Amino acid sequence: MSDAIKVAGPDGSPQEFPRGVKVAEVVRALYPDRAEVTVAALVDGKEADLQVALQADVSAFRPITVDTPEGLEVLRHSTSHLMANAVKSLFPQAKVTIGPAIDTGFYYDFDVPGTFSPEDLARIEARMAEVGQADLPFIRMEWPKAQAIAFFREQGEHYKVEIIEGIEDPIVSIYRVGDFVDLCTGPHVPSTSRIRAFKLLSTAGAYWRGDERNPMLQRIYGTSFPDRASLEAHLRRLEEARERDHRKLGRELDLFSVQEDAGGGLIFWHPKGTRVRMVIEELLRRELLRAGYQFVTTPHLVRRDLLGISGHLDFYSEYMYAPMDVEGQQYIVKPMNCPGHILIYRSALRSYRELPIRLAELGTVYRFERSGVLHGLLRVRGFTQDDAHIFCRPEQLLGEITQILQMMFAVLRLFGFDRYEVYLSTRPEKFVGVRESWDQAEAALADALKALGCTYEVDAGGGAFYGPKVDLKIMDVLDRAWQCGTVQVDFNFPERFDLAYISESGARARPIMVHRAILGSLERFMGVLIEHYRGAFPTWLAPVQAVVLNVTQAQEPYGEQVYQRLLREGVRVERDFRNETLGHKIRDAQLKKVPYMLVIGKREAEAGGVSPRTRAGQDLKCMPLEQFLDRLREECRPCTEGLLG
C-alpha cells in the first residue's frame, strides 16, 4: 500500500498528501485563505471533523466554513454540547437527552427536578464561557454499540441508552469535550475556543420524544454566531420580534383572545379584530366574484364515511376530532372543505359548457393540534380558510393555475408582501392515484410558474397525498418566511367520487380538480399581518381609521356631528369626548395605533372643519371635513379597485 493518497483540489485536479493526513492540514494546503473560518469539511459527500485522518483517495473535497448554513449548523450543534457540558457541571443530577441545532440556534433537553430559572441560565452561560476559554478539544471516538450502552448505563444516562438501543449500526460515534461525553454523529468545531458568541434565550417544557405519555423534560434554547456583532444583530431582531408578537399586540389592541374556559386553540375575535377580518373577507369576496367564482356554504359536520372515500381517514386521521354518534351514523367536525364542494358539484349533471366551475367558501374547519404546539393565531384548532375548488377540463388547467397565481401575487402585494419564496412540491412516498396523472399535474404547475416568470424551488416528495402543489411563503419585514397560499392539482378525488361532465362529443368525461387558497388560514394570516405591521395597519385595513377628539366640552355637539357624518360615509371611526386633556387623549389614540386623530377645538367648530393629526405625530392644518374624507378615500383606493384589472 502506498504511503500517499490523492485529494481533489479546488479545480478538481488531484493533490498528493501522506496517508493519515488530517482534514485540517488538507484545508490549510488547498484553501489557505479559508482555513481560519473552516469548521469541518465535506469529504466525498460526507461531513467530517477537521481532526479526521484520511486513509484513502478523496475525489471530492470542500471545506465547510462558518459563514455558510452548514458551517453555522456545526457551530450551533457544538454550542449545544458546550451547554450540556456546563449543565452537567452545575447540575450533576441532570440527565441528558438530545441537543440539535435548529434554524435560529440550538436547544438541549434535560431531565432535571424542577425547572431552570433565569438565574440558572446566567450561571450556565458563565460556565460555558469558562469552558470555551479553556480551549478544550472535541474528540471523536467510535465505540462498539455494547460498549456505549454499558458506559451510559453506568453513568445513569438511560435516555442515551434508549437512543443507542434503537441504532442498527454496530458502531456508534461518541464525542468527548472535557469531562462531558455524549453520543453524537458530529461533526463539531475543533475546540471550544471556536465558540465565541452565544446566548441562552429561554426555557420550555418538552415531552421526551414529543409524546405526552413520556416524562416532561426541561428544554433550554440558545443561539450561537461566529462573532459578537452577528450575535448582537440577531438579539436586536429577536427584541424587535418580541415587540411585534401578535399575541402581545392582540391584547394591547383588543383584537382577539383565547379563552381557556372554552378551550385552547380556539380564537375569540373581538370587535376590532372582527372589523379587520371583515375588510379582508369583503376584499376576497369582491375579487373572487369578479374572477368568476361562485360562493357556497357547507355544514360544519360531515359523515365519517365521506372522509373515507376521499382518503382523509387514511392520511389525516391524527388531526381529526373523534367522531360523534348521531342516530347510528358517525359524524366528524369537518377538517377540510373539499368533500363538501365535491358533493355540490356532483349534485347536478354538468356540461362541458359550464366548466370551469369555481366554488369558493370562507369555510371554518377544525383540526386537532396538541396543546404544546398551539401558538396564538399561528397554530390553532379552529380556523377559517379562504378556500376554493375549481372543476375544469384538461385544456383549461394551465389557464386556471395561471389565473390563481396572478390573483395570489396581486392580493399579497396589496397587503404589503412583495417578497416571497415559491415551492413546487412533488409526489410523496405515500400517495393515491397513478403516476401518469401525477406527472401531468406536476408539469402543469411547472408550466404555469414558467409562464409567469416565477423562480421556484422543487420540494421533492412534499406534495399532498392526492396531488402536487405550489406553495407560497411570504417574507415579512423581519425577513421571516410564512406559509400562505397554495395551489394543488388533483386527479384523484374526481376519480374517487366518480365526478363527471358531458363532453362536447356527448361522452362522459372526468374533470380535473384544483384546490387553492390565497391567504390560507385567515387566523394565521392575521397573525402575520399584525407582526408585519407591528399592529399599525395601513389606513384601508385599520380597525379604527380615525378618532374624533374634542378640546373642551363646548365642542362636543359639533364633534358628534363629525362623528355621525363619518359613520354615514363608511369610515371606521370612534369618538373620545372624555373630560381629559387633549394630550392624554392623543396619547391613548397613538397607543391604539389609530391612523388619524381629528382634533376639534373652537376654531375647527366655527370653521366647520377638522385638524387631523397622524399617529406618527404629524399635525395637518385645519381643513374642511370633505377634504379630509377625500384624503381618506385616496388612502383606501387600493382596496376598492379591482386587483386584476
CA proximity to 112, closest of 85, 89, 94: 94
| Catalytic status, residue 270 | no
Please tell me which residue in 88, 275, 367, 427 is annotated as part of the active site. Answer: 367
Is residue 402 within 8 A of residue 380, CB to CB? The reply is no
Question: Which residue is catalytic, options 88, 246, 389, 593?
Answer: 389
Cα–Cα dist 108/93, whole Å: 15
Residue carrying the nine cell digits 379587520? 276
Task: Say if CB 53 and CB 67 are below 8 A apart.
Answer: no
d(C-alpha 408, C-alpha 389), whole Å: 15
Q: Is 487 helix (H, G, I), strand (E, B) or coil?
A: strand
Catalytic residue among 120, 182, 386, 387: 387
In order of 151, 289, 407, 640, the CA distances from 361 in angstroms are 60, 12, 16, 21
Q: Which helix (H) or strand (E) holds 153?
A: helix 145-154
Beta bridge partners of 99: none
The residue from 127, 182, 218, 338 that is catalytic is 338
Which residue is associated with the grid cell 468545531? 189
Ordered DSSP codes for 439-455: HHHHHHHHHHHHHTT--
The 8-class DSSP code of residue 44 comes to T
Nearest to 246 by CA among 592, 523, 615: 523
357-366 vs 382-392, strand pairing mode: antiparallel
423's enclosing H/E stretch is strand 420-425
How far apart are alpha carbons 588 and 252 in whole angstroms? 11
Count of alpha carbons within 13 angstroms of residue 212, beta-carbon side: 5
C-alpha distances in angstroms, 270 versus 250, 251, 392, 504, 512? 10, 10, 39, 52, 40
Question: Using CA atoms, how far apart are residues 198 and 177, in angstroms rounded to an integer?
Answer: 18
Q: Does 576 qualify as catalytic in the annotation? A: no
Closest listed residue to residue 224, CA positions, set 188, 257, 262, 197: 197
Catalytic: 341? no
Cβ-count burial 126-141 (b if 16+ within 10 Å, e if not): ebbbebbeeebbbebe
Return the C-alpha cell found at 184: 453524537
Nine cell digits for residue 347:
349534485
Cα first-last separation, the chain: 75
Whether residue 387 lies in the annotated active site: yes
Q: Is 515 known to be catalytic?
A: yes
User: Catalytic pick from 385, 488, 545, 555?
Assistant: 385
The one catalytic residue in 62, 199, 515, 613 is: 515
Q: Which helix (H) or strand (E) holds 473?
A: strand 469-475
338 catalytic? Reply is yes
DSSP 8-state symbol, 141: E
- Which one-letter amino acid corresponds to residue 202? S
Q: Which residue has the cell 372589523?
A: 275
Give the C-alpha distances (Å, rounded to integers) separating 556 from 303, 599, 607: 58, 11, 15
Q: Which of 160, 350, 469, 613 is catalytic?
A: 469
627: annotated active-site residue: no
CA angle in degrees (0–180, nearest 5) for 603-607-608 = 115
Q: Which residues are the active-site residues?
A: 338, 367, 385, 387, 389, 469, 515
